[in-house]
Structure 1
Amino acid sequence: MKTQQFLELLAGNQNKSLKFEYSSGKFVGTNYHITEVKHTTIESVDCGAGTDSWKETIIQLWESPDEKDKKEFMSTYKALSILKKVGRIKPFILEAEVKFEYSNKNFNTAQLFVNDYELNDNEFILKLAIEKTDCKAKEACGITENNEVTQEACCAPGSGCC
């Protein structure tokens, strides 16, 4: 999901509870806070010497131990007001992918992408997912569609990989 779409969904649904499903059936607690917003530029070189560049908006969620008994989730209105304040200080790149950084005692820190969302009468639920790592230079590294390494194994001298 792009940052612009996320902000538009918040603006169009300001009377709802904002919930984050970080794993199937598991939600960030009602005691979460938006603790940081990162505007990042990724400059990468893959193992086949290919370069790439893109931008991301990373919103960090943190569960306050002092509010563990809190009953209600943050409203979309409050989240939007926080993000508007951030945008006045550091403008958003609206076409950047939005991700959420989160962890708890049973879930290691991860940057999660928006896999889907659900809107109902009272809730805006973002369904988050972990993006698996992958080889971006499969052809140069001799990796087939089934992720099998061919005879010209990755990183062999002269393979074009690494």
Structure 2
Amino acid sequence: MTLSEIKSILPKLENVVFKLEDGTSVPEHFHVTEVGMITKNYIDCGGTFRNEKTVGFQLWNADDFDHRLKPIKLLNIIKLSEEKLGIENLEIEVEYQAQTIGKYGLAFENDTFILTNKQTDCLAKDSCGIPSIKLNVIQSACTPGSGCC
């Protein structure tokens, strides 16, 4: 989800609700403690220079159980971050503390923001000697139900 997408969703909501993909709810008393632009400059294992930018949100659970972040408040935090930090319309990456700090993508479904799992990957498989999997499609005159397969 991009920053412009969340900005278009928030005004339509009564509450801001986050869940993990496994259905676990982020407690209702969470805080958004950071909104910022994250820039990552690095060299992959194949020697290629890479530059990635994302918008970072950090969710944090406090002990103030009566706290509830309203959509307009989050929208105002986002707008202030855009003004002060020059944040672009980029993909959102969410940091959330479970057993350790996790990084998640963000999706939206049924009035709920879903923290989507992210995976690591080798960006230079050809340089690292990691074989790519190729599927061989065999053309056949067989059709389902013909008895030849």
Q: Taking structure 1 as the reference length, what is the TM-score of the superposition? A: 0.74
Q: Show the counterpart of 1:112.
A: 104
Please identify which structure carries the higher strand content: 1
Looking at structure 2, the residues matched to 145 and 31 of structure 1 have their Cα atoms a distance apart, in angstroms, of 45
Per-residue deviation, residues 43-79 of structure 1 (Å, max 9, x unmatched)? 12110111221211101111111x23x3x74222221
Q: Is the 8 A contact 2:36 2:85 kept in 1?
A: no
Q: 1:141 aligns with which of 121, 128, 142?
A: 128
2:116 partner letter: A
Q: Which runs of 4+ in 1 moved over 4 A?
A: none
Whether 2:94 is the aligned partner of 1:103: answer no
Looking at structure 1, the residues matched to 6 and 42 of structure 2 have their Cα atoms a distance apart, in angstroms, of 26
Per-residue deviation, residues 53-110 of structure 1 (Å, max 9, x unmatched)? 1211101111111x23x3x74222221122222222222211x111111104xx3211
Q: Number of residue pairs matched? A: 133
1:140 partner letter: S
1:142 partner letter: G
* Rg larger for: 2
Q: Taking structure 2 as the reference length, what is the TM-score of the superposition? A: 0.79
Contiguous gaps of at least 5 residues in structure 2: 134-149
RMSD of equivalent CA atoms:
1.8
Looking at structure 2, the residues matched to 7 and 55 of structure 1 have their Cα atoms a distance apart, in angstroms, of 18
Q: Show the counterpart of 2:4.
A: 4
Q: Is the 8 A contact 1:19 1:73 kept in 2?
A: no
Residue correspondence of structure 1 range 10-159 to structure 2 within 5 A: 10-11=10-11, 13=12, 15-65=13-63, 67-68=64-65, 70=66, 73-94=68-89, 96-104=90-98, 107-114=99-106, 116-119=107-110, 124-145=111-132
